[in-house]
Amino acid sequence: MGGPEHRAGILGEEMRPLALVTGASSGIGREIAKLLAKGGYDVALVARREGLLRELADELGAEHGCKAEVIVADLSDMSQVENVKQMVDGVDVLVNNAGFGKWGVLTDQEERSIEEMVDVNIRALTTLTRHYAAKMLGRGKGRILNVASIAAFQPGPGMAAYCATKSYVLSFSRSLHSELKGSGVTVTCLCPGYVDTGFGEVAGMNLRREIKSWSAIPASRVASIGVKAMERGRREVIPGLLNKPVPLFGRILPIRLQLAIVRVVLMVGRPSR
C-alpha cells in the first residue's frame, strides 16, 4: 500500500487519506481503526493475529467502503517493523497503539519477555514515528497518536518495566510535539487508565477489584477521546475524571507514598527466592 502521495483515486474519485494503526486486532486499537474508517480514512491494520485483522478489515470495508490492508507483524521483531515500513510508504495518520505489559516482580519475569516488551513499547514505536514523521514533514501535514498510560506518571512496583516504557512514550511524545510545532505535523499522547480490553489478563495483573469497578472505561470511549484529541492537535489527553488527577499526584506526593499506594493497588508481593 503506497503512501498518500503515491495512491491515485479511482476514476477521478477523491483519494481517501491513509491511517496506519498498530495493535489493531483488539481493544483500543481496533476501536480507533473503526473510528478512522468511519471518518473517511483507508486503514493499514497491523497486529500479530491475522484472523482478527481480516475480520476487522472485512467489517470496515463493508460498513464504510474503505480499503483496509491487513499487515501481520510481530513488532518485537525489528525486521518485521522494517517490513511494515516497506509495505506502507507514507501515511496521513500514524497510531502507535501496540504494546503489552507483564505484572510481577521484575526478578520473577523471564528476560526475553522483558526484552520483547521494550522492543514493542519503545523500539517499534520510536522507529515507526521517526520514519513516518519525516515523510509527513515533507508534505507539511500529518498526525501521530501514541498510546501510553496513566502508568507513565508514577513509578510502578509490580510492573516496573512496563511503567518505565510508558514513561518513555509520554516523554518522547511531549518532546516531539514541541519539536514539530508549527510544521503541520502534530503528536498527541493518549494516557488511558484501566480499560476493559483484556490487557490485565494478558499481563497477569492482580489489580484490586474495587479499582477495576471504579475506573474502568470502555475501549470505544477511550478511542473516541484519543481520536478527538489527535484531530485537535493536543499534546496529551487522559480519559476519565478519576484518572485526571494522577499526574498531579505524581508531582506533589512523595515518592515513598506513591510507591506504597501502587503496591497496594497492584497487590505486589515479595520476590521469589
User: Catalytic amino acids?
Assistant: 162
d(CA 215, CA 31): 19
Residue whose entry in the numeric block shows the C-alpha cell 493475529: 49
Is 186:164 a contact under the CB 8 Å cutoff? no
The sheet that has 236-237: what strands, in order across it? Answer: 68-72, 42-47, 18-22, 93-96, 142-147, 185-190, 236-237
Judged by phi (left if over 0) then psi (alpha if -120 to 50, else beta), residue 133 lies in: alpha
Backbone phi, then psi, for 188, in 5-degree steps?
-120, 140
